[in-house]
Structure 1
Amino acid sequence: MSALPLQHKRSKWYLEVLLLVAGYFVFGLVRAAVDRGDPAATSNALQVQRLEQILHIAIELPLNQAMLAHPAAIHLTGYFYRLSVLAVPVVLVWLYLTRRPHYSRLRTVLIVMMLLDLLLVWLYPEAPPRFALPGVVDYMATYDILGGAASRVPRPGVNLLAAMPSMHVAWTTWCACAVWSALRQRAPRAAWLAWLFPFLVAVVVLVTGHHYVLDILAGVALVAISIGLTRWATHRSEVRESTQ
């Protein structure tokens, strides 16, 4: 009799992994499929550049140029950019194993984020600074960091013109939210330190020419909106159940 609950738990664990991995690959395929082409993406990038100049936040080019004389820093930021997204599955596993009450809600937030991103990428395709801002050096391709040169070649299944919003910033902000919400009562100092992670990622995507400042702000807003929608849906579900 005791083997049945254990087997059931294992099945649920494997099912959870399968659904998340499949969902991520479907997300990538759909994101590539909604690519509306270079003209629209370049036009939107120019709009973002003009708006940032008006707001005096156009700092992508000077930050990118400041890296030219520092090859070691270029490689460090390149590796950090590529590897930072691995924090998402690590945090998911940590939540599942040690903070199960938080896991379900935060997993839903992550799914909502990805669905909203697909909508935004379709509505507002945008070429990143490395493609649309004169003078910006694509360090990942120039130094071929972790296959960066090959990843810049247009090919089926990849959308290179989807800089708005910055999903690197969104994903790492989600990680910080997850750690903060899970640890703020038991270890408040460690919880606050988690916010350094998305901040560092924001700096890295700027200096490497991957995103504009407005893309970063949109990534943070995406997380906030997804949390709000998840809370609203959860509240409505609880109210509906209480009235039945």
Structure 2
Amino acid sequence: MGASGVTVKEEQEQVEAAKPVTDRSAVDPAARPRHLTRLRVPHRPRLWFELLLIAVSYGIYSVIRNAAPTQVDAAQRHARWIWDLQGHLGLDFELAVNHALAGVTWLIVALNYYYATLHFVVTLAVLAWLFRSHPGRYGATRLVLFATTGVALVGYYFFPLAPPRLMEGMGFIDTAAVHQTWGSLSTEGTAMAEVSNQYAAMPSMHIGWSLWCGLTLAVLARPLWLRILGVLYPAFTLLVIVATANHFWLDAVGGMLCLAFGYLVSRLWYGRWCYRLPRRVPAEPAAPDEPAAHPS
């Protein structure tokens, strides 16, 4: 202890306190968490950012999905295992549905184009509707879709699965190839077949995305007819993926599980279910150190 009665430890603490602070978090332990908290609060979406995010995310998803190892033998083995399991359950109805509808040319061609187009068109339309009419719920609901799609990549990578139309010796009809449509987007001999991983069938994102669209419309839409369409859309999509021999119904179950994971991620991040968040949020106030804008 010095003459002034200050201990050596106290002197060291005073010296440390006098040093300039270079780490903001040392002064304000809540500085970093505050930024994280802001990300977890619903805010008004920006159109340019959302368009860029959707484009980049889908590009990354496509690259990773198609870069998954093309293990043909494993994919055929897994498909046979799925088919046998469904047979034990007495629910191996895909072949019967495929053959029944493949003989109705106008119908199966329409289903081929449904499979190829509405998967993207309806999903983008629902995103646009959310952006315009439910901006406060947009971010959380969009996170559901992104998390669902992200976890699906795990299935594509670790569980290659031949779709029914590519199963060997089973007699499924590849309706897109037979009718020369681009409904499957990966018919043998086309440019898409060279760049698309045709054995990324489990889980089915046609079901994951369509169910996300359907639930969003059924819960948030006001017109009764739109809510009814929301209920029918994923159900009809299930018929389409089976009739065109692009998926087993168990692939649809996989898509539903991925969607459940997506809702859980959004719930944990925002602290509330996405549909229970405020419909609209106020404009973000200017930062304290920024002067308020004056009308000219």
What amino acid does structure 2 have at the position aligned with 1:57? L
Q: Contact 1:206/1:212 (CA < 8 Å) preserved in 2?
A: yes
Q: Contact 1:32/1:156 (CA < 8 Å) preserved in 2?
A: no
Deviation (angstroms), 1:112: 0.2
- In structure 2, the residue matched to 1:110 is 145
2:265 to 221, 229, 234: 229
List aligned pairs for 1:85-124, cutoff 5 A. Answer: 85=119, 86-124=121-159
Q: Contact 2:184/2:246 (CA < 8 Å) preserved in 1?
A: no
1:136 to 168, 172, 178: 172
CA–CA separation in structure 2 for the residues paired with 1:126 and 1:22: 26
Deviation (angstroms), 1:212: 0.4
Deviation (angstroms), 1:79: 1.4
Q: Contact 1:141/1:149 (CA < 8 Å) preserved in 2?
A: no
Structure with bigger helix share is 1
% identity of equivalent residues = 27
2:203 to 131, 153, 165: 165
Shift in alpha-carbon separation, 1:150–1:125, aligned structure 2, 3 A = closer
What amino acid does structure 2 have at the position aligned with 1:180? A
- In structure 2, the residue matched to 1:23 is 57
Q: Contact 1:63/1:207 (CA < 8 Å) preserved in 2?
A: yes
List gaps (5 residues or longer) in structure 2. 1-44, 273-296
- In structure 2, the residue matched to 1:216 is 252
Q: Contact 2:112/2:183 (CA < 8 Å) preserved in 1?
A: no
Question: Which segment is superposed worse, 162-171 or 149-158?
Answer: 149-158
What does the per-residue CA deviation read over 1:183-241, in whole Å, with 9 as the maximum and x for residues that have no partner? 2xx445632431100100100110110000101111122212211222123229xxxxx
CA–CA separation in structure 1 for the residues paired with 2:114 and 2:51: 25
Deviation (angstroms), 1:150: 6.0
Deviation (angstroms), 1:118: 0.4
- In structure 2, the residue matched to 1:191 is 227
SS of 1:137's partner is coil
- In structure 2, the residue matched to 1:12 is 46
Question: What RMSD in Å do the two structures reach over aligned CA positions?
Answer: 2.3
Deviation (angstroms), 1:141: 1.3
What does the per-residue CA deviation read over 1:145-176, in whole Å, with 9 as the maximum and x for residues that have no partner? 13758643475531100111111111111111
Question: Which segment is superposed worse, 86-95 or 63-72?
Answer: 63-72
Deviation (angstroms), 1:125: 1.0
TM, length-normalised to structure 2: 0.71
Shift in alpha-carbon separation, 1:147–1:173, aligned structure 2, 3 A = closer
Indicate yes or no: 2:212 matched with 1:174: yes
Matched residue count = 226
- In structure 2, the residue matched to 1:205 is 241
Deviation (angstroms), 1:107: 0.7
List gaps (5 residues or longer) in structure 1. 1-10, 237-244
SS of 1:125's partner is coil
Shift in alpha-carbon separation, 1:148–1:108, aligned structure 2, 3 A = closer
Decide which structure has the larger Cα Rg and report it. 2
Q: Contact 1:152/1:160 (CA < 8 Å) preserved in 2?
A: no
Question: Which segment is superposed worse, 73-82 or 205-214?
Answer: 73-82
Shift in alpha-carbon separation, 1:233–1:12, aligned structure 2, 3 A = closer
